A and B are shown apart, each in its own frame.
Chain A
């Protein structure tokens, strides 16, 4: 068990980080190329930076223009995002791992803060999951990854929480730690290949949505030529 745990925390973790980083670099390159070609092809090359920044920030801090019926879950979702970013990166125990692996370290959040944030992340994650399964509307929208991802994330937080609170842990430390590390590694690996890629693509999509309307002159004529419809009556 101990060996397995060491393997999960060592090589598997490094592998997961490598997949995540390389996968995100790939996405960055692909989307960078896309953005450059968007700008190159279109005639209108003005980048409406102000609009893009405003629209992006509106959803980083979604307190305005959110439909009333969605406000509660929007806030839950924001808090959920905040917790699942802060806790993995700024927990004292994790910083030790970072230091071991990367040789860099940064200040940690206090253990009680991390505890509360973890509990909140679990509650919020379950709430978001419950909302997804509770109505036909959200079920009609959902794919497999929409159900799986919150559960995997919640699993990593639950196992992490009980691992550092032995008093409430019915299982052995090693077993819970194993679940924690495996689920954590899994999330990292999935980032570039699932909707979690929005960690990187979130701002890019906002740019793309603006530039998407900068159409290409003569595109219609070329399409007609390609389809053999040039000169055809309307």
Chain B
């Protein structure tokens, strides 16, 4: 049914040159390889993925895949889901019109229905009675190394934007199937190294965050931001409070914001100051990122538990997520799924909070403070189900003189092309920006806007790269970056707008 793996890709994914030569033959110990460096296999036989993976055990992969699959089916809910899905797939092709990756590649392997079929086929053969019977009667499908490789490639071309779920008449959630497939593969060691290394640092490293920022460096950064804020609001004394016990909100931005998004954080702090919100940053765990959502429920659960433990340590009442789509969704769903009801806390995205305060009249924003044309990109993880769509728009319509929409927008938006954790995988940048991000680039171009606002650490990095690789003139920014030019402090003090650095 499918093209052979790696042979007919119409868009070539740049292959990392230093991918570790991997072998498919049984009996060869991968540990040996580092010591003796045996001659590399012919290229055709190597499982080469477009993303780096750490050294993986290569022997008996189909058996180990099935063991992992069986264990997951046994202890989770996925079996019930696959059971329904593998009966009803109508192969109607409606999803082809909604998948940005397929639209850019025209490769049948990128059709959501075909991608899910790769896993459903394995389920049908090994975990249903009919598959069992068929395999005894005919020469039926058998799980091979090639199939595992094809699946591994396919699920990481998907950005898990969930658009196809809403264009499937049967209601099949292909993102859920992809989510499961990524977990099974991760148990075999097939997961992008970029994500695994980050999670390792977050769970087992000294710094407990994905960017490996030590606490002194974090405090230094925040001190610097406080000084910068002093220039915007002289004399106001806006602070980044650390380890304050009993606050209403404990703040978890995507930790990369501390490295890359100074204006977003300053906007966050200014908004929280202006609304007199009691909040704090916990030095034990200050990272909202949860890559478990992208590749492993096992990690998802461990990470959210560590985050919630930090809130309880500080006696906080609510979990406040910064401008980040996946952090918001992984916290909200993770809280409901994994945290015992007695320990559960409300999860609030900072834009929700800003909007509530703005609507209640507690946050004063200068109307029409932004003269340039502005547009808004919805991060999939918070917009697809309609959670956060209108809140940032209400604020933007107020502070911008010329706010324009992309088409389609809101729940129906297109992914930036870097969703589902793919934005962290630098080796597939060309694929991300030129294929996955092509639709988004066209959308951005069509608005003619100066500012592209996106309140998500993933989307920010991706859209920066899309703008650069497509040579677009737009400036990417966050919501609070713009709000920083419009927030009026309770004493009536207005911001001194800083000159933009180009």
Q: Give A contacts to B, CB under 8 Å.
A: 27, 30-31, 34-35, 37-38, 41-44, 46, 51, 55-56, 59, 62, 65-70, 74, 77, 136-138, 140-143, 146, 195, 197-198, 201-202, 204-206, 208-209, 211-224, 226-227, 229, 233-234
List the 7 closest A-B pairs by CB distance, nearest first: A220-B298, A67-B97, A140-B108, A206-B171, A34-B80, A226-B71, A212-B81
Contact (Cβ within 8 A) A209 B91: no
Report the number of A-B residue pairs with Cβ-Cβ less than 8 Å: 186
Chain B residues whose CB sits within 8 angstroms of the CB of A195 once the complex forms: 87-91
Contact (Cβ within 8 A) A205 B80: no
Contact (Cβ within 8 A) A220 B87: no
Q: Which of B111, B302, B338, B412 contacts A140 (CB 8 A)?
A: B111
Contact (Cβ within 8 A) B88 A65: no
Chain A residues whose CB sits within 8 angstroms of the CB of B83 once the complex forms: 30-31, 34
Given contacts A205-B171, A212-B77, contact A227 B187 (CB under 8 A): yes
Contact with A along B168-208 (1 / 0, CB 8 A): 01111100100000000001000000001001100110000
Q: Is B76 an interface residue (CB 8 A)?
A: yes
A214 to B301, alpha carbons, bound, how many Å? 13
Contact (Cβ within 8 A) B77 A43: no
Chain B residues whose CB sits within 8 angstroms of the CB of A209 once the complex forms: 81, 165, 171-173, 176
10 sample A-B contacts, Cβ–Cβ < 8 Å, listed by A number: A34-B84, A67-B94, A77-B92, A141-B108, A195-B87, A201-B170, A205-B172, A219-B301, A222-B71, A226-B75
Chain B residues whose CB sits within 8 angstroms of the CB of A69 once the complex forms: 97
Chain B residues whose CB sits within 8 angstroms of the CB of A227 once the complex forms: 67-68, 71, 187
Q: Which of B97, B166, B385 contacts A70 (CB 8 A)?
A: B97
Closest to A64 in B: B412
Shortest beta-carbon distance, B4 to chain A, in Å?
Answer: 13
Q: Is B433 an interface residue (CB 8 A)?
A: no
Given contacts A209-B165, A215-B76, A216-B75, contact A43 B338 (CB under 8 A): yes
Closest to A206 in B: B171
Shortest beta-carbon distance, A203 to chain B, in Å?
Answer: 8
Given contacts A66-B167, A223-B72, A234-B199, contact A216 B77 (CB under 8 A): yes
Chain B residues whose CB sits within 8 angstroms of the CB of A34 once the complex forms: 79-80, 83-84
Contact (Cβ within 8 A) A219 B297: yes
Q: Is B492 an interface residue (CB 8 A)?
A: no
Q: Which of B92, B170, B176, B341 contacts A202 (CB 8 A)?
A: B170
Shortest beta-carbon distance, A39 to chain B, in Å?
Answer: 9
Chain A residues whose CB sits within 8 angstroms of the CB of B337 once the complex forms: 42-44, 213-217
Contact (Cβ within 8 A) B172 A220: no
Contact (Cβ within 8 A) B299 A217: no
Chain B residues whose CB sits within 8 angstroms of the CB of A212 once the complex forms: 77-78, 80-81, 173, 176
Contact (Cβ within 8 A) B299 A220: yes
Knowing that A137-B106, A146-B90, A209-B176 touch, tell me 13 more A-B residue pairs with CB under 8 angstroms: A38-B80, A41-B76, A42-B337, A43-B338, A69-B97, A140-B2, A201-B84, A202-B170, A209-B173, A214-B336, A216-B77, A227-B68, A234-B196
Given contacts A30-B83, A219-B297, A233-B200, contact A198 B187 (CB under 8 A): no
A136 to B199, alpha carbons, bound, how many Å? 41
Q: Is B155 an interface residue (CB 8 A)?
A: no
Shortest beta-carbon distance, B25 to chain A, in Å?
Answer: 23
Contact (Cβ within 8 A) A141 B200: no
A65 to B164, alpha carbons, bound, how many Å? 11
Contact (Cβ within 8 A) A140 B98: no
Contact (Cβ within 8 A) A219 B87: no
Contact (Cβ within 8 A) A205 B170: yes
Closest to A233 in B: B204
Q: Which of A38, A65, A66, A215 contacts B297 (CB 8 A)?
A: A215
Contact (Cβ within 8 A) B77 A198: no
A233 to B92, alpha carbons, bound, how many Å? 43
Given contacts A43-B336, A208-B84, contact A59 B171 (CB under 8 A): yes
Chain B residues whose CB sits within 8 angstroms of the CB of A41 once the complex forms: 76-77
Contact (Cβ within 8 A) A55 B76: no
Q: Is B85 an interface residue (CB 8 A)?
A: yes
Given contacts A74-B94, A137-B96, A214-B77, contact A198 B170 (CB under 8 A): yes
Closest to A67 in B: B97
Contact (Cβ within 8 A) A223 B68: yes
Closest to A217 in B: B338
Chain A residues whose CB sits within 8 angstroms of the CB of B173 once the complex forms: 209, 212-213
Contact (Cβ within 8 A) B108 A208: no
Chain A residues whose CB sits within 8 angstroms of the CB of B152 once the complex forms: none
Contact (Cβ within 8 A) A70 B87: no
Q: Is B333 an interface residue (CB 8 A)?
A: yes
Contact (Cβ within 8 A) B93 A215: no
Interface residues of B in 327-343 (CB under 8 A from A): 333, 336-341
Shortest beta-carbon distance, B440 to chain A, in Å?
Answer: 17
Chain B residues whose CB sits within 8 angstroms of the CB of A70 once the complex forms: 93-94, 97, 167
Chain A residues whose CB sits within 8 angstroms of the CB of B10 once the complex forms: none
A212 to B476, alpha carbons, bound, how many Å? 35
A221 to B296, alpha carbons, bound, how many Å? 11
Chain A residues whose CB sits within 8 angstroms of the CB of B113 once the complex forms: 141
Q: Is B256 an interface residue (CB 8 A)?
A: no
Contact (Cβ within 8 A) B80 A208: yes
A69 to B83, alpha carbons, bound, how many Å? 30
Q: Is B39 an interface residue (CB 8 A)?
A: no
Given contacts A34-B84, A142-B91, A201-B84, contact A219 B76 (CB under 8 A): yes
Q: Which of B87, B108, B165, B385 contacts A137 (CB 8 A)?
A: B108
Chain B residues whose CB sits within 8 angstroms of the CB of A234 once the complex forms: 196, 199-200, 203-204, 299
A224 to B67, alpha carbons, bound, how many Å? 11
Q: Is B114 an interface residue (CB 8 A)?
A: yes
Shortest beta-carbon distance, B317 to chain A, in Å?
Answer: 21
